[in-house]
Structure 1
Amino acid sequence: MDASQSTAGPVRQAAHANGVVATLALAGTTAAVMQTLVTPLLAELPRILHTTASNSAWVITVTLLVAAVCVPVFGRLGDLLGKRRMLLFCSVPLVAGSVVCALSSSVIPMIVGRGLQGMGMGMVPLGIALLRDVVPQERLSSSIALVSASMGIGGGLGLPIAAAVAEYASWRVLFWGSAALALAVAVLIFTLVPDVPAAAKGQRFDAVGATGLGAGLVCLLLAVSKGADWGWASATTIGLFAAAAVVLAAWGLWELRHSDPVVDLRTTARPRVLLTNIASVFVGFGMYASMLVVPQLLQFPKATGYGLGQSMLAAGLWMAPGGLMMMLVSPLGGKLTNARGPKFTLISGVLVIAAGYAVSLALMGTAWGLMVSLLVINCGVGLAYGSMPALIMSSVPLHETAAANGFNTLMRSLGTSVGAAVIGVVLSQLTVELGGHSITSEAGFRTALVLGGVLALVSGVIAATIPAAREPAPSAHAPAEDATLAQAKSDR
């Protein structure tokens, strides 16, 4: 019997299970907050860092790139070395990166610090995977839903908090505060989270596969995130897309031949896992479209006839209830998953997201209308985000839990990246002239909102095709050679 299975019973009965779930949710929220931390500073970064606007944009881009590379790799390391150990490891660059940013006065140190902060995003899938080992079965769905939704909660709450700090205090306070928060999370993980033996202990780490995946993702995400600046038809953008295709294809061939791959593509290709990951891309797009459109509508000048003239702080406060809604809905999503299954919860979530976009089109002329639409959209995001890890974990063997969740988190992030690029193109192309400047038109914002709703519906169609699980979800109560693991071995 595997060591992780023999110790899982006592661990699940630990009296501090509530503290473990709260700690992992806080860890995920803290990592996600780092993503939106500098949003209120975007206009000021060139002045603060004594650089150009194009150079300062790397402060955002580098976090995305590093997170994309580290999330799946850290997930695999969590399976190999232990999830608690990797959670503690992720807290180190979060603290260090925040300190580096707080001390920065030029663009290079700031980019380095933001890259370190991006490494911390690995906390989210590691925390979700760890729940499978430490939470009683009857509470697993609601706990997964809460920790998974922490990505959205952190993004929703990070913006108004960062805006308030940036407006009433030094910008450096943002980073000192994030360093203190990350340090507190590390202490809580060390104190409350049990050390469950690694599920894949003894297997080898695929360094070549990790390098290939990282190189391919960097090429792809650079092209997606910077294509609008460089030109979609430019040699650089096309070259990066081509390089991504070649590198990722070669990486896939390598992974199929490796006995202990970073991402087991045979498992990933199973319809239940594959369709969940594809749906995740569209859900990520659907969520992020509103995060790009609503702040601009709130802050555009009233002279446009459709802007609401709010300050950054006021806009953040109007959006804050949406982040809280995800926190409130997540446990309900877990109960819905227990009652009807994660597939039903995912479909319900994306339908609610689409309904939220319909509300936004009807009520976009008022701040309270946009707040209501975000409440509805984020309610759907909370349901959808909580159901996807449950679908993944019901379909993969225990020794691939963290890696599979890391890959699913990557798919969500890929959706937000593509969404940002596509919505950015829409908003930049549909414009009007105001005071000698070209700004996004009302039709541009409406088109972006329609696009977000349509792609949410597309994810619903994809989710509807996800097949039912042939076997019960493998859990820590099951013997090591559970049905899923046996199937995985027969597939090899």
Structure 2
Amino acid sequence: MTQTMTDQLPAGAADSAAVPPLPPPAKGGHRRTHAGIVPVLAFAGIVVAVMQTLLVPVIKDLPTLLGTAPSNATWVMTATLLAGAVATPIMGRLGDLYGKRRMLLTSLAVMVVGSLICGFTDQLLVMIVGRALQGFAMGAIPLGIGLMRDELPRERLGSAMALMSSSIGVGGGLALPAAALVAQHADWHTLFFAAAGLGVLSMLLTVLVVPETSVRAPGRFDVAGALGLSVGLVAFLLPITKASEWGWGSPRTLGLFGAAALILVLWGVMELRIADPLVDLRTTARREVLLTNLASITVGVAFYAISLVLPQLLQLPTSTGYGLGQSMVVAGLCVAPLGLTMMFVAPLYARIAARRGPKVSLLLGMLVIGVGYGGGIGLMQAPWQTVVIAVVVGAGIGLAYSSLPALIIGAVDPSETGAANGLNTLMRSIGTSVSSAVIGMVLARMSEPLGPVTVPTMAGFRVSFLIATAAVALGVLVAAFLPSQRKAAGARTTPLAQSADEAGTAGPGAAVAADVPSDAAGRSAPVAGAADEPAAGFRGRVVDTAGGPVPGATVTLIDRHGQQAGVTTAAPDGSYALAAPAAGTYVLTGAAQAHAPQAVSVAHAGEGTVAGADLVLTPTGSRLAGTVLGGPEGTALTGAHVVITDAHGDVVTHTTTGADGRWTVAQLPDGPYTLVFSAPGHQPTAHAVQLGGGVDGAGGDTRHQEVRLRPGATVRGTVRGPDGHPLADATVTLLEDGTVAGHAVTGPDGAYAFTDLAGSHYTLSAAGYPPHAAPISLAGGADARLDLELAQPGGAGQRER
């Protein structure tokens, strides 16, 4: 039954199966600390949101500030939107290939450069370039989520992703009043310098706190795919953002939409034919991924609608009959609860997702959004009512946004996390762009003159809320078709299990066992025992070659198409359970730190049957063994301590010698180590060893270390007076080459002792009466007894035996 991974994996499965859902501990047992990762990554998301929002208070003044026409000034906002849409999937893919932290720092650095360019210019074209560079920071959101998946333990992943996903709303809600305050009392360029400062601070915190992930996707970066997607997205989003100005039926708008459709179709055909695509369209077409992305668009529409309606309503003069006549700063403060509520519901999301799965929290969030917008249609007569609307809608958006990355992560391979979440973030951006265009058009059409300008009517505001309500209703309909979950013996799973009729097209993560407990991110949790075994599928144990359990081993089920059909981790006793989506032949793989992986072919008879399949993993790494000798004759030492530390100085393991002086340590990863040997009555010693060069990664090599510890010499005796009686409180000093090697004061019996001496020539002196000194010669660790006699002044003596 034992075969190598490549012997049994279907075509294309070897690479994905070799990558566990979560990264293993750091080499050599040196574990990373996770303190600070979540707040630092969430702060990066907030910085991105601040960058997006900082110009909102001065939008209406941009033509005057830049000395240009209103139609040209809108490019300052459009450039950021387009650059962010293009950068999000590209930076996500680059993060998967070359390191997510590295690309996160790159995104923030480009944003800082763009902010500084904007801060030092009043020229329209230069400002547009700077704003486009600022848009590259949008890649920080999917990169941060990917880092969380790679670095955090499962129990923290759900709430952490919720906070990161909600950071856009949090930053936007907090930045709006702050930006308004700055715009009212300082030069508007200060907004860009503040954004640059926040970006530098975020980079510094990331360097100090966030480790680089070891998870990498195979392959190369798809340059042609990146160019094709960039051109297609610009051709699609540009007419959406400018259609109200150009006209929805104008040749320019229709021509760009047609060009976008053609470019994106050709791009999709190319992506399906290359080995390392920028976006894996097969994964994207998977049911749970596709429906989650479609739901993301509707949530994006609902999120942006409130940001377009409430600030305008609050700032309109009361002379309109419905305007609330508030200042820019007060309007920002009334909308700020939108972002704050999103942040506060992150822990609530984690609890809901843990019990019911992210699909339920997504549906609940969208229903709350619908209630907020529906109730808001009749609650726009006072500032406090807008605060209520912001709180309710913010709570719903927080739940919905927090659920989206969990659904995506539960359906894709760890090496695809950045790209998949980048695409999902792009879908949200498309939703906000559509919301901006459609609601902007509605408010422009449903307006009335107020002096020299036209302002939206209350009917226009209400229609905008109705559009948001309709969008979220469509989102509920889409999300309802996400794979549903089923109850299992006291536990619930995420909505990733598929019915048997979908097994043929299911992809990685699509068929997580319906009756196996799973975490908030959609991965199966460890199975404790028979009470949790699936109604149909496989169960067994993961053991090593000695028959001992391998707790925490990753067990993956791969279908006949080479796609992941389920994944779980072994319980402390090595047991696991996985559901099978349909009858057929599968490949079951097991992988664990310091063990060679195993893959076996298994068959499932169909619904209602559970097949047993044990996995035997061969320990890898090197083996250390040896003997510790000591004493004058070099005999075996029993109970001697052997401590092994790694290159960081951390203790990897320790053991003691047996009755024959022998010791053994197995399964040490390759690398440098320090062996420290010690035993009572002997001088400790340390040896350096470099492990490596095992055969085929199975069993490793064996290094033998024979060590002889040098006995520690002892000098003891009694200090006596002229009458032969012991002297108390006499000072006895041991000198080696003029250096004090020991110091003692005699007790009532006059006794003194110096132990564990490594040298061979000493001088012993005693004082308290007239001082007296005597040389000592120690050979081979022998013990010496030297009695000293301190005489009255004028006399001295010694007695050695």
TM-score interval (norm. to shorter)? over 0.9
Report what 2:87 is aligned to. Answer: 70
Q: Does 1:438 align with 2:454?
A: yes
Distance apart, 1:449 and its partner CA? 0.7
Report what 1:377 is aligned to. Answer: 393
Q: Which amino acid aligns with 1:223?
A: P
CA distance in 2 between counterparts of 1:96 and 1:480 reads 46
Distance apart, 1:457 and its partner CA? 1.6
Report what 2:73 is aligned to. Answer: 56
Distance apart, 1:219 and its partner CA? 0.4
Report what 1:405 is aligned to. Answer: 421
- Higher-helix-fraction structure: 1
- Three-state SS of the structure 1 residue aligned to 2:412 is coil
* Aligned match for 2:122, one of 105, 121, 132: 105
Q: How many residues are treated as equivalent by the alignment?
A: 489
Contact kept? 1:99, 1:175, Cα under 8 Å? yes
Distance apart, 1:21 and its partner CA? 0.5
- Higher-strand-fraction structure: 2
Q: Does 1:337 align with 2:362?
A: no
- Three-state SS of the structure 2 residue aligned to 1:439 is strand
Q: Does 1:247 align with 2:263?
A: yes
* Aligned match for 1:88, one of 85, 105, 111: 105
Q: What does 1:302-317 correspond to in 2, within 5 Å?
A: 302-317=318-333
CA distance in 2 between counterparts of 1:203 and 1:393 reads 20
Q: What does 1:319-358 correspond to in 2, within 5 Å?
A: 319-358=335-374
- Three-state SS of the structure 1 residue aligned to 2:211 is coil
Higher mean C-alpha deviation, range 4-13 or range 370-379 = 4-13
Distance apart, 1:144 and its partner CA? 0.5
Report what 1:278 is aligned to. Answer: 294
CA distance in 2 between counterparts of 1:98 and 1:83 reads 23
Q: Which has the larger radius of gyration?
A: 2
Q: Does 1:287 align with 2:363?
A: no
TM-score, reference length from structure 2: 0.59
Contact kept? 1:432, 1:438, Cα under 8 Å? yes
Distance apart, 1:16 and its partner CA? 4.3
Q: What does 1:137-286 correspond to in 2, within 5 Å?
A: 137-200=154-217, 202-286=218-302
Taking a change above 3 Å as real, the CA distance of residues 220 and 488 of structure 1, as seen in their structure-2 partners, is farther
Taking a change above 3 Å as real, the CA distance of residues 436 and 226 of structure 1, as seen in their structure-2 partners, is same
Contact kept? 2:55, 2:179, Cα under 8 Å? yes
Please report the RMSD computed on the Cα atoms of aligned residues, expressed in angstroms: 2.2
- Three-state SS of the structure 2 residue aligned to 1:438 is strand
Taking a change above 3 Å as real, the CA distance of residues 7 and 424 of structure 1, as seen in their structure-2 partners, is closer
Contact kept? 1:104, 1:110, Cα under 8 Å? yes
* Aligned match for 1:487, one of 555, 563, 569: 563
* Aligned match for 1:365, one of 364, 381, 384: 381
Taking a change above 3 Å as real, the CA distance of residues 478 and 171 of structure 1, as seen in their structure-2 partners, is farther
Q: Which amino acid aligns with 2:62?
A: L
Distance apart, 1:391 and its partner CA? 0.3
Q: Which amino acid aligns with 2:287?
A: P
Q: Which amino acid aligns with 1:59?
A: V
* Aligned match for 2:467, one of 451, 467, 470: 451
Distance apart, 1:220 and its partner CA? 0.5
Contact kept? 2:21, 2:414, Cα under 8 Å? no
Aligned-pair identity (%): 48
Distance apart, 1:137 and its partner CA? 0.3
Taking a change above 3 Å as real, the CA distance of residues 18 and 400 of structure 1, as seen in their structure-2 partners, is same
Q: Does 1:388 align with 2:388?
A: no
Taking a change above 3 Å as real, the CA distance of residues 479 and 261 of structure 1, as seen in their structure-2 partners, is farther
Distance apart, 1:3 and its partner CA? 7.7
TM-score, reference length from structure 1: 0.95
CA distance in 2 between counterparts of 1:308 and 1:387 reads 35
- Three-state SS of the structure 2 residue aligned to 1:196 is coil
CA distance in 2 between counterparts of 1:400 and 1:178 reads 30
* Aligned match for 2:152, one of 128, 135, 160: 135
Contact kept? 2:76, 2:128, Cα under 8 Å? yes
CA distance in 1 between counterparts of 2:479 and 2:306 reads 21
CA distance in 1 between counterparts of 2:95 and 2:300 reads 24
Taking a change above 3 Å as real, the CA distance of residues 85 and 480 of structure 1, as seen in their structure-2 partners, is farther
Contact kept? 1:5, 1:478, Cα under 8 Å? no
Distance apart, 1:310 and its partner CA? 1.0
- Three-state SS of the structure 2 residue aligned to 1:363 is coil
Distance apart, 1:434 and its partner CA? 3.2
CA distance in 2 between counterparts of 1:36 and 1:27 reads 14
- Three-state SS of the structure 2 residue aligned to 1:281 is helix
Report what 2:641 is aligned to. Answer: none
- Three-state SS of the structure 2 residue aligned to 1:362 is coil
Report what 1:43 is aligned to. Answer: 60
Report what 2:38 is aligned to. Answer: 21
